[in-house]
Structure 1
Amino acid sequence: MAEGKPDEAPERRGRGAWWARTGLAALAGTVMAFAFPPYDVWPLSILGVAALTLLTRGRRARHGAWLGFVFGVPFFVVLLSWLRVVGWDGVVGLSAIEALFLALMGAGLALTSKLRGWPLWAAMLWVTQEWARDRLPFGGFPWGRLAFANTASPFTPLAALGGAPLVTFAVAACGTLLAWAPLCVLRARRAGTAVLPWRTVAGGLTAVALVLIGYAVPVPTTAADTVRVAIVQGNVDRPGMDFLGRPMLVLNNHAGTTERLAADVAAGRTPKPDVVIWPENASDLDPFTDPAAYARIDQAVKAIGVPTLVGALVDGPDQQHVRNEGIVWDPSSGPGESYTKQHPVPFGEYVPFRSELSKVITRLQRVARDFYPGTGSGVMHLGPARIGDVICFEVAYDEIVRDTVNQGGRVLVVQTNNATYNRTGQTEQQLAMSRLRAVEHGRAVLIAATSGVSAVITPDGEVQQRTEELDQEVLNAVVPLRDSQTVADKVGAGPEWVLALGGLLACGVAAAAGWQRRRAAKRS
C-alpha cells in the first residue's frame, strides 16, 4: 500500500462531516425562514435554534462561525426576498451582511457549548446577536428577530413582561433545551441506565414552563375611554419602485376616499368618526409649499369635519433633504402638531456616503433626496385621542415605540407606505411586528397603509379588522385609549441588556477557559 494511504479515509470522513454540517446548517436556516410571515409556521423558530445549537456544539469557534454564516445567508435570503423589487443583488448583499452577526453568534455557540449550563448561555446569545443587529450598522436592521415569528404563539404574552427580547429568549431557550434532550438520552444510554438524569427532566419541565407561562400573563384589552377611528387606505396607481406615479395622484386617492366617507356619514350609512388617519406619504407633495396640495387636503378634512392625521413628504432644511411627517390637520385651523420620522432607512430613504457610493452604484441616484431625521417622539393630540405615531419600519425598533408609550401615547398609530413591496410578503411581516407591539405595550395599534395592509389591532394582539393589499378601503372601529403601563414599559431595555451581556460574559469565560487548557497542554 502506498505511503499515506491509511490516513486518507479518516481525512475524507472529516471532509464529508464538514460538508454535511454545512449543508444541514443551510437547510436549517432555510427552514427557519418559514417560521415568519407570510408562512407563519412559528414552531420552526424553535427547531431552527435547536438545529444550529446541535451543529455548533463541540466545534471550534471558527467552524461555529462558518456554520452560523451558512445558516444565516439562506435564512435572510428567504426572509428578505421582498427586497427583490429593488434587485436580487440587494437581497443577497443585505442577507450576507446580516448573516455576519449570526456568524459571530455561531462562534459564541461553539465556545459556550463547553460550559456547564450551556443551553442557558446559548439562548442568551440569540438575544446578544439581535441586540447588536438591531443597532449596527447605520442604526441596525431588526428584521428576522425570533420574537417577530412569535406574534401569535404561546410566547407572545411574554412581550408584556420584557418586550421582544424576552420573547426571543424564551423561544431560543426552548430550542436549546430541545437540542439538549437527545444528548442527555444518548449519555444515559452510554452509561447503561434507562433512567434519565434529573437535569434532563428539569430541562424538559423548564421548556414546558416557557411555553405555558405566557398563558398566565394578563393582557388587558379594555379601557374607560374609547375613540372611534376611520383609517383611510386610498391605494396607489401601481405598486413597485414608481408607486407615486403622477403628482397629486396618491393624494387625490386619499382625499377622494375621505370625501366618500364623509358622504356615507352624511347619508347615515356610516357612523361619524372622532378622528381620521391617513397613511405615510398619503400626500406626495409638500402641502406647505404646494398650494394645490394644501387645498386638496384641507378640502377633504373639512368634508369629514374631524381632525385627520395626514402623512406627507415635506421639504427639509435644505434642497438635499426631505422630511417624512405625520401632520395633525384640523378642519377649522388647518395643520398643527407634526411628527418627523426619526429613523430613515439607509439606502432606501437616505444614502450613506452618497458622493462616493453613487458613482459606483448608479441605482442609488434614484434616491434623489435624503430624508432628514426627526428628534422627538410621535406623541400628539389628534382630536380626543393622544396618539403615539411611528412611521413604517420604525415599528421594528423597540426604543422608538416604547418612547411613544412612556411619553403619553394612549393608542399607537403606524403610518406606513408599503406600495413598493405589495404582494411580496413584506407587509405581512410588518403587520406581525405591530401585533407584538400591541401586546408589549397594552395598546391598540392602528395601521394606516397607502395600499395595504391597513389594520385595527386590539391590545392583546388580535387583528380585529384588516384590508387586503391594493384595495381602496376605509376601516371603522372603536378602540380603547389606555394609560396604564405594562411591565415591559417600566423595565425598558433592562432585560435585553442583562440577557445580551450574559451571552457576552459566557463567551468571555469560555474563551478564557479554552486559553488556559491550551496553555496547560503546552506545559505538559
Structure 2
Amino acid sequence: MAQPVRYGALLAGALPVLAFPAPNLEFLGWIGLVPGLLLMRGAPSRREAAVRAWWFGTGYLLVAMYWLLPNLGPAVPLIAIALGFLWTAVGVSAWSLLRPPVSWRRALAALAVVPSAWLLTEWIRSWQALGGPWAVLGATQWQHPAILALAAAGGVWLVTIALVVANTGIVIALVARGLPRLIGLAAALAAAVAGPAIFALTPPPAAARHVTVALVQPGILNGPAQRVSADVQLTEGPARRADLIVWGESSVGYDLAASPRLVGRLERLSSAVGAQLLVSQDALNAAGNKSKVAVLIGPAGVQGSYVKTRLVPFGEYVPFRSALGWLSGISKAAAQNMVPGTGAHVLHATLRSGQPLTIGVLICFESAFPDMSRVDTDHGAQLIIYQTADSTFQGSWELAQHASLSALRAAETGRPVVQAALTGDSVAFDARGRLLASAGPSRRGAIVVSLALPPASARTLYDRLGDYVPWTAIGILVLAALLALARGRPDRLARIRPHRPARIAWNGSREPDRTARPAGASSEGPAADAQPGGNAAAHPRDGS
C-alpha cells in the first residue's frame, strides 16, 4: 500500500498550487494542505511520514514550476525532487503531533510547530542559489488587501503562517474530539480574521503627494531596433503626459556606453515629452560581459543606473556551473553567466514639476525577494519599480504569478509598486496592495496611473523589524527538537534491561576459581551437593 499512498501525496502537493495565479483558487490556500497533512499524520512510522512529505513537496514544486519545462527540460523534476526533501520536516512534525490521541497540549504544539516547519521549507529555498522564493504560499492571497495586512506586519512569511495554522487547525478539528477540536476550530478562525483585523486597525498614512507613472508595454517584437522604435512611439503618444515613463526589461538591446547616438535620441525624447525615462539595457559590453541594467535618462543625459543583482537561476546563470554546466547542452539554460550588480540602491528622478522623487528600481526576478524592496525603502524610496520582460513564458501561469508578487511587496513596504513588462503583465498597486491597473500579454500600449506616495519616513512593522517571523519559526523548531530529544532519552533508558557485571574470583593461582558463586547465590545449590562440606579445593579437576 505504501506506493499508492505516496502517489496520493504527490497529487496532494499539487492541490494548493491551484491557489496561485493563473487559476487563482485562493481559498485553497486555507484548506488545500489538509489532504497532505492527513496522509502524513496517518503514516505507520515517522520515516514513512517523512517520505510522504517528500513526495508532497515534490508534487508542489513540479506543478508550481511546470512552466520551466520547455527551458530546463529534465532539470525541473530533478530540482523538484531535491527541494522536495525540505518538506520532510513538515511530515515528521505532523506525524509526531497529529497522530492519535491528539490531546490539547499536542494540539497547541501542532499549531506552532507544523506552520514553523512549513515556513522553514520556504525560507531555505528562498536562498538564491536554491532558486529563490518562488511559490511562497502566502503569495496566494495577493488579491486580498485585507489579508495582505499580515504582510505589512511580518512580510509574506506571516501570511504563510496564517494559512498553515488554518490548515492545521482544520486537521485537528477533523481528527480530534472535545477540547482539542475546539482549539483547532478557534485557531483556524483566528488565522482567517487576523489579517482583516490588522487592516481595520492600521489605516495607511496620509499621502504626501501624487505622481503619475506610465508603464510602456510594446509587446513581442523581433530585434532590438524594433523594440526601441515601438517604445519611442508609445512614449510620444499615450505615455507623454506622465511624470515618469518606465520601459520594460531588455527594452534597449544596445550597450549605451558605446552608443552615444542612441543616448542622444533618448535625451531628445525625454526633453520632448517633459519627463525622464527609465529604460533597461540588455547587451554585451566592450569586455564581452553581460548585465541587465536599469538606466534613468533625462534631457541632460544619464542620471543614474542600477545593475540587476539577483539573477534568474539557469536563465541568466547556472548555479554551481562547474557541476551543473552540462545542463546548458541539453536545455535552454544560460550558456554564459551574467555579471550581477552589487546590491539594491535607489535612484533619484526629477519630475516634470521639478520635484525630486527617490525610487527603488529592481529588475524581473528580484520582485520575488522581500529584502530588496525593504532595502530600497530604508534608503528613502517612495515608489518601487520593477522592470520585466517575461517574453519567454508567454501562455503560462508564470506571467500572472510574477505580476502578483508586486502586491506583496507593496503591502510589505507600504509603498506603491509598479511593474513595467515588455510583453505583459504590467501592473500597478497602491501602498496596501490594491490593484490599480493592469495590462495582460495581449495588450500593446501604455498604462498611465496616478499613485499616492506615502511620506518617505513612513515604515511598516515589517520594514522596521525585518524577518523576525522566520527566525521565530526556527526558534520554535529548535525548542521542539530539544524537547523531543529530552523526552525520548528517558524512554530509551527505560527499555534497557539492567544487568550485573560478571564477577570472577581467583584462587591465588593464575587459574580462575571455578567454584566462585555469583553474588547472592545460595550455598545450598548443586555445587554444594556435589561437594559435601562445600570444599571446592578437593575437586579432582582442580589438580590439587
> Which deviates more, 426-435 or 284-293?
284-293
Q: How does 1:11-410 map to 2 (within 5 A)?
A: 16=1, 18-57=2-41, 59=43, 60-113=45-98, 116=106, 117-135=109-127, 138=129, 140-153=131-144, 155-185=147-177, 196-197=178-179, 199-217=180-198, 218-220=202-204, 222-237=206-221, 245-261=222-238, 265=240, 272-313=241-282, 315=284, 318-319=287-288, 321-331=289-299, 333-354=300-321, 357-359=324-326, 361-363=328-330, 367-383=334-350, 384-410=356-382
Q: 1:437 to 1:453 in 2, by over 3 A?
A: same
The answer (yes or no) to whether the contact 1:233–1:449 under 8 Å persists in 2 is yes
The answer (yes or no) to whether the contact 2:254–2:283 under 8 Å persists in 1 is yes
Give TM-score scaled by structure 2 length: 0.82
Task: Give unmatched runs, 5+ long, in structure 1.
Answer: 1-15, 186-195, 238-244, 266-271
Q: 1:57 to 1:507 in 2, by over 3 A?
A: farther
1:422 aligns to what?
394
Q: CA deviation at 1:91?
A: 3.0
Give TM-score scaled by structure 1 length: 0.85
Distance in 1 (CA, whole Å) between partners of 2:380 and 2:465 is 16
Q: CA deviation at 1:367?
A: 2.8
SS of 1:461's partner is coil
The answer (yes or no) to whether the contact 2:131–2:313 under 8 Å persists in 1 is no
Q: CA deviation at 1:22?
A: 1.6
Q: How does 1:503-522 map to 2 (within 5 A)?
A: 503-514=477-488, 516-522=490-496
| Residue type at the aligned position of 2:388 | T
| Residue type at the aligned position of 1:492 | G
Q: 1:213 to 1:465 in 2, by over 3 A?
A: same
Q: 1:123 to 1:285 in 2, by over 3 A?
A: same
Q: 1:112 to 1:340 in 2, by over 3 A?
A: farther
Q: 1:364 to 1:463 in 2, by over 3 A?
A: same
Task: Give unmatched runs, 5+ long, in structure 2.
Answer: 100-104, 351-355, 499-544
The answer (yes or no) to whether the contact 1:156–1:436 under 8 Å persists in 2 is yes
Distance in 1 (CA, whole Å) between partners of 2:333 and 2:135 is 27
SS of 2:302's partner is strand
| Residue type at the aligned position of 2:123 | W
Q: CA deviation at 1:359?
A: 4.7
1:447 aligns to what?
419
The answer (yes or no) to whether the contact 1:443–1:458 under 8 Å persists in 2 is yes
Higher relative contact order, structure no. (Cα contacts within 8 Å, ≥ 6 residues apart) = 1
Q: Which deviations, in whole Å up to 9, do the C-alpha atoms of 1:147-201 show, x marking residues without a partner?
A: 111222453211111111111111111111111112213xxxxxxxxxx32x432
1:460 to 2:432 alignment: yes
Q: CA deviation at 1:451?
A: 0.5
| Residue type at the aligned position of 1:133 | R
Distance in 2 (CA, whole Å) between partners of 1:53 and 1:369 is 42
The answer (yes or no) to whether the contact 2:314–2:333 under 8 Å persists in 1 is no
1:496 aligns to what?
470
SS of 1:142's partner is coil
The answer (yes or no) to whether the contact 1:111–1:510 under 8 Å persists in 2 is no
Aligned positions, number: 479
Distance in 1 (CA, whole Å) between partners of 2:193 and 2:363 is 34
> Which deviates more, 61-70 or 363-372?
363-372
Q: Which deviations, in whole Å up to 9, do the C-alpha atoms of 1:389-444 show, x marking residues without a partner?
A: 12111111121121111111101111111111122010110122111111111111
